[in-house]
Amino acid sequence: MEKLKDVLLKVQRGELSVDEALHFLKDLPYEDLGFAKVDHHRALRRGVPEVIFCQGKTPEQVVKIAERMNARGTNIMGTRAGREVFEEVKKAIPDAVYYPDARIFAVIREPVPKNKGLIAVASAGTSDLPVAEEAAVTAELLGNRVERLYDVGVAGIHRLFMNLEVLERAQVIVVVAGMEGALASVVGGIVDKPVIAVPTSVGYGANFNGLSALLTMLNSCASGITVVNIDNGFGAGFAAHLINRLGGTENEAALP
Amino acid sequence: MEKLKDVLLKVQRGELSVDEALHFLKDLPYEDLGFAKVDHHRALRRGVPEVIFCQGKTPEQVVKIAERMNARGTNIMGTRAGREVFEEVKKAIPDAVYYPDARIFAVIREPVPKNKGLIAVASAGTSDLPVAEEAAVTAELLGNRVERLYDVGVAGIHRLFMNLEVLERAQVIVVVAGMEGALASVVGGIVDKPVIAVPTSVGYGANFNGLSALLTMLNSCASGITVVNIDNGFGAGFAAHLINRLGGTENEAALP
Amino acid sequence: MEKLKDVLLKVQRGELSVDEALHFLKDLPYEDLGFAKVDHHRALRRGVPEVIFCQGKTPEQVVKIAERMNARGTNIMGTRAGREVFEEVKKAIPDAVYYPDARIFAVIREPVPKNKGLIAVASAGTSDLPVAEEAAVTAELLGNRVERLYDVGVAGIHRLFMNLEVLERAQVIVVVAGMEGALASVVGGIVDKPVIAVPTSVGYGANFNGLSALLTMLNSCASGITVVNIDNGFGAGFAAHLINRLGGTENEAALP
Amino acid sequence: MEKLKDVLLKVQRGELSVDEALHFLKDLPYEDLGFAKVDHHRALRRGVPEVIFCQGKTPEQVVKIAERMNARGTNIMGTRAGREVFEEVKKAIPDAVYYPDARIFAVIREPVPKNKGLIAVASAGTSDLPVAEEAAVTAELLGNRVERLYDVGVAGIHRLFMNLEVLERAQVIVVVAGMEGALASVVGGIVDKPVIAVPTSVGYGANFNGLSALLTMLNSCASGITVVNIDNGFGAGFAAHLINRLGGTENEAALP
Amino acid sequence: MEKLKDVLLKVQRGELSVDEALHFLKDLPYEDLGFAKVDHHRALRRGVPEVIFCQGKTPEQVVKIAERMNARGTNIMGTRAGREVFEEVKKAIPDAVYYPDARIFAVIREPVPKNKGLIAVASAGTSDLPVAEEAAVTAELLGNRVERLYDVGVAGIHRLFMNLEVLERAQVIVVVAGMEGALASVVGGIVDKPVIAVPTSVGYGANFNGLSALLTMLNSCASGITVVNIDNGFGAGFAAHLINRLGGTENEAALP
Amino acid sequence: MEKLKDVLLKVQRGELSVDEALHFLKDLPYEDLGFAKVDHHRALRRGVPEVIFCQGKTPEQVVKIAERMNARGTNIMGTRAGREVFEEVKKAIPDAVYYPDARIFAVIREPVPKNKGLIAVASAGTSDLPVAEEAAVTAELLGNRVERLYDVGVAGIHRLFMNLEVLERAQVIVVVAGMEGALASVVGGIVDKPVIAVPTSVGYGANFNGLSALLTMLNSCASGITVVNIDNGFGAGFAAHLINRLGGTENEAALP
Amino acid sequence: MEKLKDVLLKVQRGELSVDEALHFLKDLPYEDLGFAKVDHHRALRRGVPEVIFCQGKTPEQVVKIAERMNARGTNIMGTRAGREVFEEVKKAIPDAVYYPDARIFAVIREPVPKNKGLIAVASAGTSDLPVAEEAAVTAELLGNRVERLYDVGVAGIHRLFMNLEVLERAQVIVVVAGMEGALASVVGGIVDKPVIAVPTSVGYGANFNGLSALLTMLNSCASGITVVNIDNGFGAGFAAHLINRLGGTENEAALP
Amino acid sequence: MEKLKDVLLKVQRGELSVDEALHFLKDLPYEDLGFAKVDHHRALRRGVPEVIFCQGKTPEQVVKIAERMNARGTNIMGTRAGREVFEEVKKAIPDAVYYPDARIFAVIREPVPKNKGLIAVASAGTSDLPVAEEAAVTAELLGNRVERLYDVGVAGIHRLFMNLEVLERAQVIVVVAGMEGALASVVGGIVDKPVIAVPTSVGYGANFNGLSALLTMLNSCASGITVVNIDNGFGAGFAAHLINRLGGTENEAALP
């Protein structure tokens, strides 16, 4: 809005003709006219990492993007990054760190505002771990405390019931499950909080690459469950962060 | 086998030439040669009702079939029978009885051997009731004791846990669930017995007429679960009966 | 937990033998042991209506359930309720009210805690209105302020841009869209808040009863979007309420 | 139940205050409270192997899990285990054995109760053999006698009819078939026993990785057939065992 | 070809200039140039009825088309014709006849050449009868002898084996089956002749309107089976006729 | 752009303070800022009708929308309008006209610029006629000359070849076909022009409501074919108009 | 039937007691009772090769099967055989021959009866060639004359029209096409003969591995077309042979 | 038409008998009779490259086809050509050029007529680039000016609004988008021109290889959008060229 005000002021002061003003406004980036990104929480955005989705990019492409971001001094996170991608990034940015289970690398440059609430990440089986870690590490890098509750799937449902107090303490719960994906319904049935369900492509036979778990979660009869795409741990972690932020942030920002 | 023996005896006694015998055997119903229905439990079959699948048949057609069966004096059951179908049957066979929730009518002519074991039928929500009742009444008409455990779906999962002793007493468990169908996995995760899962077409949106529950059940990570077709309460009740019969029958047959 | 404590005290005082205690605990409802419903916000739950999903139930069944709830004096809401259902309910509970666009009836008995934050409900086209209203009225009955932003679909996208300040003021945004469902992505691309996307079955041809919009929303490249089932306005309103509640409640409860 | 009894006894004897008892009970594993696994047949469970699903796990992960189980001295079986997985397991547990056709390895530590009844495993074509063997070996390791009836598919249906007496002697029949999966219907049409159908992903063209056989089996017009997931030989073998156990066990347990 | 020859002759005789000839040829219907319908068996076509596919047409439209055909004096058959359609046709063409089971009406004006071979039409269940009759009556109206073998589905497979001699006498076999559609594979496995399989939409649950039977038939492991569209009895009857005609025709044409 | 210029001029002349200007601009409809509808051919738009998609709207809703449009004096067209909808519209706007085959009503208020080029609409079978007419009438109301080439499907392909000169004269060709949809490929194979293919839901069996024709058209091996949604005659007519307009317009606008 | 006669004769002559006969009959292979393979054309079967479907078998398995067949002195054909499979077969059976385009190997041991009629195999594009060759070589090895009409797809449809006389001379036509599969409809529209359509998995995008072509062919509006599974050239060649055989065989058998 | 005229002239002059003429005409390629390719713009076709679809062809096959085309002296383009294919082509045709991003190689032999209008190619994300380039380079090689507008997807929608003037100047717009494919709707909503949408298979989870984007685009509520197959950049570029040509060509042809 400020550039627009500038232009108006110059027209008022006769420093700019109307035609010059029109021409200038026409070339003004859309964003600067105030119609773009509704971002009144800019303060909160400090430290929010810029994200590179590495899948389908060559290591060289990832490095090039990472270096450009690094030059801006912001935090960076790269998702779906294999170790060979990270090795290349590390050559260019030596203090990059790697979370192998989550397949995420990160470059930390500035502190992140910490959200007060807790995010719980529950997963059904060991094979769901990479997706669960993608969600958990994403949430952590965005400034959230995360507690993990793994291997609490329906086949070992007593482990879930033994750890109910983690669910009790959380503000938001991410549930990661493949095969039949029933865990989301069970959790949604016993808590009264936002639950984000992530179907995974883990399974075989008529699992259809996660379709089975996706449909289960969409059709859950427990209220308050919303769903992200199959294997989309990043999306779940990000949405959980946006929700958790509503509960307020600490006074001090900190390194993730 | 008896007709075959008869023929051989007549050949032996010279009452039948070889060519006559061959000709006769060629026309002998396949079944009588002993290669059909492997049925060494014929004793157990006494009282097993003949079944009419009424869906897609006119009331007239159903009545005609029922009358033909009635003439043989066997027990009869008609599934997917609306009340209007039953009314027509009742006119022809006045002592026919109707189970409105199960949409089944039955004609009882002879006692049925009683299986010793108990079949539990659990269902997730009230809308699954017709399918659950179809399974339960089918099992009862085939000579089984049945206990119903309704409305114990994942959204009200504590009701299931409050009634675990029913599952404990049962030999076979039929689980009926629509929407996300998670109940089968939960039950399969806490018992160590044959579980027959029946997906129902109850639900909306991306439920796809029961496909969602079907896939959930097929992909269940709990062992020992097998699945029948969507809404196929009859099939589940029948399979449960075949399994339950393995646990032995009472000495006395009784009216179902 | 209290019953458990009771038992322990009685054992301590010798009023109960260990065997009696064991027997008693075995029969104790699961819920009373404190492992059920994690519900430490019971205070906040005051006024939360009990919900009847009317689809697939006869008016008589709905009335019976509503009367039972009414006897408990809680608020009630019935979703997917046609006017003929409401008429029957009104005979039994004369002060029931009806929201025809949302196909919801409600009985208000006690004040509801008001969440501080605002929920925006945006919809793409006029045909999406019933689902959008289901979400909006659900959120209102649960104690939320709601602003509606209708007919801002991609074909009339300038209307969305003219109303960005509504999105700016909201804490949570529900986006309802059928056909190609692109509105969720556009909104998710310009705000930095939780967005709950509701695909609707509005459309024709290769829309496949909402599958098209569902897939679009699941695959959205904008971060922070989560999805509920096709046409599930209630689910979206409920999840939006759970999220909005994280931002705190007013001191005074009020009638919805 | 024993730990609970212990706690009660200590409270009775004044060795534990009520608060200490409550705190202790809160941390007590759910299972020990007796509400988990409904397992009144613990005697029968002796020798039941613990199962590792190897697909999607690295050989190292499998070895680690196997060693942990081995330390408990129970029987172990690993399914979907390639030979290279087995080789690694063998290094750690030298007396592990391998069933290459079934892709199963096993470690036998204790005798298993033998079920009295016979399980027949019938398969349609040679390519269905790995799934059929997975079912057969699973059932054997769980303590069942198994007879194999391979290559009796519909194209060579006379081979099935030549071996009817195997079906006659069996208590439960597992039918494994890919392509059009018609064998399950044929078997279901001639026997009066529990039939567990396993669709396989064998086939090509519009087979859709086993979907074709899955649908055939779900839609079978023969009563008493239940279905497991595509290629799920283990699940079929396990369910067949649970059913077969209903017919009683031998007095002596034996090595599988 | 004759018109083309005519033109050439006229050019040769100088009765037509080259330009006139070119102009004439340009306007000549494509068909008359001999490149259309490859129809060297015109003699055999005598009596082949013209076909009206009535589904999706109003009775008025059907009557109008039928009258136009009737004016040409050819035989007529109308498929998918409800009785109400037939009643209207009968008013306009009083000697039209109706086959209610096949939902076909016919107007016979001229004798049809009779094929020597026999077509067998086998069907699995009573509900498949309308499609089977559509195939059978179509074949009869095209000049074939047809034998029906109904209710020989896999559940009652002994009835098929009791009637093998019908299959033996046939040149071509049409197999009509819904639900799991296994009958086609069974027939294809025991005969060495062209088998045309017709999946029907009979069934319920995961039958998906005949998709299940369609996939079964396409994936049949028995050689020599080809498939037509779901419920397409007409198509099967027509294809069977084309095949049967290869075995030669009687000297005398006759009324169908 | 003009309102923006106005504001700038007023600021220049001191008639508006900068703050007033900013406030005004904020409220200015997005469109007027020149960033909306890229519409430099406004002249050409004269007479382009406003469109009401009637499906899923009540007659009352359609009438209300039509009256509001009518008040603006523009041309109006309503698609998917049954006769009962038209009857209501006619009561409110007596000179509305109806195209029953196309299920379109129109209100003509001003002349439309005529495109020079010809649009050909070819359809495969009689049942495709409603969709073909929707495309044709749409194009006509938008100011195009249209020639219809109906019933030229692949089964009667010689009729297409006999009418090639229509295709030769057209600038754009709309091809409407159901069942197997092969007509689009055939036309695309013989012309070198833009072809817009419209799959229709006409067919039965494995047609899946038009999916079959849709896939055929998307997979066409003939270059230059683009596809619209199933049954979307309006969309095809509209796209054909946009393309045809590129070939220039007549000097005189005329009533459609 | 002969063994049955034998038994009867022995009973007649007193060489066999009735019980011995019964026992013997029980063990008699089903086939020998004359109820198996309806094969009254045994003479015609001379030379018909035994078939090995090599896909999914190791070279060693194929060789073993081939050697066993070779020992019986019958002709052999192996389909879906890569060159590496053939090389192994050749080592064991040096006079085996290979058709690389068809991926078929054959061992010729005895002359085959020649069918009088001609089979035409038409294919749409070069990539369909392997499937077309599989059909053509299969038909040739079964004793048919085959003419190939390749690359006559809809995009180059004039090439089809230039070669109509091949279609004219054929008794049966196999049409092989991927992508949109329209060629089958075009051919079916211009001939009056049995057409067997083979969809191929050639294509990309929304081709779904041949589903697109499969649906096109099933929905063809041209009568007389039947369909085999995707890429099933062997099935088409085999069915074409069964049909072609109805037109009679030459007096002399010959090497294929 | 010329060969036909020739024949007629020879008949007129007596140089050819009528029978010789008929025989000759019968063998005359269909095309030469003037019924094939409706190609009245032959002048415009000068320079239009012959196209090789390289996917699924070996480098040797591509080279062979390219050499044959090269011998005719026409322009050539090869799509879906990996670099290793190009290297082989370059050996045979040294002046072949390669567009690596578009995976296209080209051989330019003659100038191409230039279309006056501009084609804009917009794409949503970096991963859509190969498909976008295939469209852009195709259009350029066919004689069009192309402007690229990349990375303007919905997540960065302001970039699109900042570049509206490119859309303003274009005659035809190709929109390439994967994941949820919403870009096509946004563009279609703000321009009034032909838009060709290309779904790409970019994405993951429930993207189903581009099906998600395909459905989005087919269901777009913006008018004037037509769709090509998933990833079919070539098809979009070709169709855009056919449309753009309607706006007229420059007087001078030029090298692409």
Instruction: With beta carbons under 8 A apart, name residues in chain B contacting C215.
Output: none
Interface contact G185, partner F, CB < 8 A: yes
H or E element that contains B69 = helix B59-72
Q: What is the pLDDT of residues C143-172, one digit of tens each?
A: 999 999 988 887 666 677 767 788 989 999
| Span A179-204, pLDDT tens digits | 878 899 889 887 889 999 999 998 77
**Both H148 and H211 in a single domain?**
yes
In angstroms, the CA E28 to CA E31 distance is 8
Looking at beta carbons, which residues of chain B come within 8 Å of C36? 158, 161
CB burial of residue C93 (10 Å; 0-12, 13-18, 19+): middle
Q: How confident is the model at residue E149 (pLDDT cuts 50, 70, 90)?
A: very high
Same structural domain, G166 and G217: yes
Domain-terminating residue out of E107, E127, E161:
E107
Whether D13 has its CB under 8 Å from any CB of chain C: the answer is: no
Instruction: Confirm or reject contact between C255 and chain D (CB < 8 A).
Output: no
Please, which pLDDT band fits residue E23 given cuts at 50, 70 and 90? low
Interchain CB contacts (distance < 8 Å): D and G: 33
Nearest to G242 among E39, E193, E230 (CB): E193
Q: Is F190 on the interface with G (CB under 8 A)?
A: yes
pLDDT of amino acid F47: 65
pLDDT digits (tens, 9 = 90+) for G107-152: 999 888 899 999 999 998 878 999 999 999 999 999 999 999 988 8
**Each residue's pLDDT tens digit, E107-118:** 999 888 899 999
pLDDT for residue B182: 87
Q: How many folded domains does chain F comprise?
A: 2
Picking from C72, C87, C107, the residue at the C-terminal end of a domain is: C107
Q: Which pLDDT value is given to residue H152?
A: 85
Query: What average pLDDT score do residues G85-104 get?
Result: 96
Cβ–Cβ contact B126 with C under 8 A? yes
Residue E255 belongs to a domain:
no
If asked whether residues H144 and H191 sit together in one domain, one would say: yes
Q: CB–CB of B225 and D224 under 8 A?
A: no
Residue E254: inside a domain, yes or no?
no
Lowest-confidence pick of E173-177, F137-141, H11-15: H11-15
Q: Are F218 and G222 in contact (CB under 8 A)?
A: no
Pair (C70, C190) in one structural domain: no
- Strand partners for B226: B196
CA dihedral C41, C43, C49, C52 (to 10 degrees): 40
pLDDT at H189: 80
pLDDT mean over D142-153: 92
* C122 shares a domain with C100: no
pLDDT of residue B222: 80
Using a CB-CB cut-off of 8 Å, the residues of chain F touching A33 are: 33
The Cα–Cα gap between E173 and G242 comes to 12
For residues G48 and G159, membership in a common domain is answered with no
At least 3 CB pairs under 8 A between chains H and B: no
Which residue does chain A place closest to C31, by CA atoms? A190
**B171 domain residue, yes or no:** yes
Whether E163 contacts chain B with CB within 8 A: no
Helix (H) or strand (E) holding A63: helix A59-72
- Do residues C16 and C4 touch, judged by C-beta distance below 8 A? no
With cut-offs at 50, 70 and 90, classify the pLDDT of residue F23: low
pLDDT at C25: 61
Give yes or no for C70 touching B (CB within 8 A). no
* Contact (Cβ atoms closer than 8 angstroms) between residue G89 and residue G63: yes
The DSSP string of chain D is -HHHHHHHHHHHTTSS-HHHHHHHHHHS-GGGGT-SS--TTHHHHTTPPEEEE-TTS-HHHHHHHHHHHHHTT--EEEES--HHHHHHHHHHSTT-EEETTTTEEEE--S-EEEESSEEEEEESSGGGHHHHHHHHHHHHHTT-EEEEE-S--GGGHHHHHHTHHHHHH-SEEEEEE-TT-THHHHHHHH--S-EEEEE-----STTGGGHHHHHHHHT-SSTTEEE--TT-HHHHHHHHHHHHHTT-EEEEEE--
Optimal mutation site among F28, F30, F214, interface C, most CBs of chain C within 10 A:
F30
Place of tokens 């067997």: G196
What backbone phi and psi angles, to 5 degrees, belong to D98?
-130, 135
Across B45-49, average pLDDT = 66
Q: Look at C112-121, E6-15, E58-67, F120-129 and tell me which has the smallest mean pLDDT.
A: E6-15
Cα A118 from Cα A137, distance rounded (Å)? 13
Please report the pLDDT score of residue H27 as a whole number. Answer: 45
Whether A254 maps to a domain, the answer reads: no
pLDDT value at residue B26 = 52
CB nearest C219 (choices: H156, H212, H222): H212
Mean of pLDDT over chain E = 84
Q: What is the mean pLDDT of residues C136-145?
A: 96
Residue C43 has pLDDT above 60, yes or no: no
Whether the pLDDT of residue D174 is over 70: the answer is yes
Alpha carbons G75 and G90: distance in angstroms, whole number: 15
> Based on the domain organization, do H57 and H156 belong to the same domain?
no
Counts for chain G of helices (H) and strands (E), in that order: 11, 11
Cα-to-chain-centroid distance, residue C165: 25
Residue A79 sits in the same domain as residue A139: no
E252 found inside a domain: no
Q: How far apart are the CA of C34 and the nearest CA of chain D, in angstroms?
A: 9
Task: Kindly state the tokens that stand for B156.
Answer: 């009200």
The whole-number pLDDT of residue G27 equals 46
Spatial neighbors of G223 by CB under 8 A, at least 6 apart, are E51, E234, E235, E238, E239, F155, G188
Question: For residue A196, what pLDDT is reported?
Answer: 97
Range of lowest pLDDT (C28-32, D189-193, E247-251, H218-222) = C28-32
Inter-CA distances, A123 with A127, A156, C226, H254, Å: 9, 11, 18, 62
Phi, psi of E114 (to 5 degrees): -95, 125
**What average pLDDT does this structure show over B37-65?**
68
| Residue G202 in contact with partner chain H when CB distance is under 8 A | yes
Question: Cβ of F134 under 8 Å from any chain C Cβ?
Answer: no
Across C112-122, average pLDDT: 95
pLDDT of residue G158: 65
Residue F38, pLDDT > 60, answer no
Give the residue with greater pLDDT, D126 vs C103. C103
Whether residue B252 lies inside any domain: the answer is no
Which of B29-33, C6-10, F45-49 is the least confident region? Answer: B29-33
Least confident of A61-65, B192-196, D188-192, F19-23: F19-23
Closest-CA distance of chain H to residue F210, Å: 13
Q: Say if residue B75 is in the same domain as residue B155.
A: no
Helix, strand or coil, per DSSP, at residue F240: helix
pLDDT of residue D61: 85
Residues of chain A with pLDDT under 70: 1-4, 22-47, 155-158, 162
CB < 8 Å to D206, chain G: 210-211, 214, 229-230
Question: Domain check: are A123 and A101 in the same one?
Answer: no
pLDDT at G252: 78
Best of G162, G167, G179, G180 to substitute, by most chain F Cβ atoms within 10 angstroms, is G180
The whole-number average pLDDT for the span D186-208 is: 87
- Specify the pLDDT at position B184: 92
Residue from B27, B32, B230 whose CB has the most chain E CBs within 10 Å, to mutate: B230
Q: How far is E81 from chain F (nearest CA, A)?
A: 15
Contact assessment for residue A196 and residue C226, using Cβ atoms and an 8 Å cutoff: yes
Nearest by CB to E238, which of G164, G224, G246?
A: G224
Are residues D75 and D254 in contact, defined by beta-carbon separation less than 8 angstroms?
A: no
Which pLDDT score is estimated for E164? 79
Sign of dihedral through CA atoms G220, G224, G228, G234? Answer: negative
- Provide the CATH number for the domain around residue E218: 3.40.50.1970
Neighbours of chain H (3+ CB pairs under 8 A): A, C, E, F, G
pLDDT band at G35 (very low <50, low <70, confident <90, very high): very low
Residue of C nearest to A236 (CA): C224
Average pLDDT over residues G205-210: 82
Q: Tell the burial category of A168 from Cβ atoms under 10 Å away from its Cβ (0-12, 13-18, 19+).
A: middle
Which of C42, C75, C107 is the C-terminal boundary of a domain? C107
* C196 φ, ψ (degrees, to nearest 5): -105, 120
Asked if E59 and E135 sit in the same domain, the reply is no
A71 and A171 together in one domain = no
Res G25: pLDDT = 61
Is the predicted pLDDT of residue H32 greater than 90, yes or no? no
Residue in B218, B229, B246 closest to D246 by CB = B246
Angle between helix axes G2-12 and B18-27 (nearest 10 degrees) is: 130
ipTM: 0.83
Report the pLDDT value the prediction gives residue F173, as an integer from 0 to 100: 97
CA distance B191 to B173: 9
| Confidence band for E121, pLDDT divided at 50, 70 and 90 | very high
The rounded percent of chain C whose pLDDT value lies above 70 is 86
Mean pLDDT value of segment E188-206: 88
| CB–CB contact G205 H55 (8 Å) | no
Chain G, nearest residue to F211 by Cα = G215
Residue E40 has pLDDT above 80, yes or no: no
Residue B254 lies in a domain: no
Work out the angle between the directed axes of helices C233-245 and C129-141 (0-180°, nearest 10).
40
- Quick check: is F252 in a domain? no
Contacts of E27 in chain H (CB under 8 A): none
Q: For residue B93, what are the domain limits?
A: 2-107
- What pLDDT is recorded for position B27? 45
* Shortest Cα distance, chain A CAs vs residue F14, angstroms: 7
Give the pLDDT of residue F4: 67
Q: What is the mean pLDDT of chain B?
A: 84
Q: In this structure, are residues E242 and G194 in contact, taking their beta carbons and an 8 Å threshold?
A: yes
The confidence score (pLDDT) of residue E42 equals 34
- The reported pLDDT for the residue numbered A155 is 65
**G1 — contact with chain F (CB < 8 Å)?**
no
Pairing status of strand F104-107 against strand F76-79: antiparallel
pLDDT range class, residue F25, cuts 50, 70, 90:
low
